[in-house]
Amino acid sequence: SKSKMKKKTTKTQEAKKILKKKFKVNTKIVFTEDGELVQQWPPVQKSSLAKADEEDDANGIDLDKAKEILREEDKFDKEEYRKKIKEKHR
C-alpha cells in the first residue's frame, strides 16, 4: 500500500524545481500588433552603471555602487512618473 501512495509536493519543493530549470518567473512582457515592446515587468534597468555592473565579475555586493545605480535609476523612474501624471491631467 505504501508504493501506491504518493507524497504531496510542497510549495518549496515546487519552487526549487523551477529554480533548477532556470525559468524566468513573475515576468510580463506586452507587445503591440507590430511587435514593438510596450511594457515589461519588472522594468529593465536603464542606467549605464547597471549595465557596467552586470559585466563586472566581482565577488560580493558593492553597496556604494548599488546606491549609485539606484540613484541613477530613480531619475528615470521620476521622469516616467512625471509623464504619467501629465497624461492623466490632459
Domain ranges of the chain: 11-89
- As a whole number, mean pLDDT of residues 18-25 equals 78
Phi, psi of 37 (to 5 degrees): -75, 125
H helix intervals, the chain = 11-21, 48-55, 63-89
pLDDT number for residue 68: 86
Spatial contact of 48 and 55, defined as CB atoms under 8 Å apart: no
pLDDT digits over 40-77, tens only? 666 666 666 666 666 665 666 778 888 888 888 888 88
CA distances to 1, 2, 8, 60 from 5, in Å: 7, 5, 9, 45
Q: What is the CA radius of gyration of the chain?
A: 21
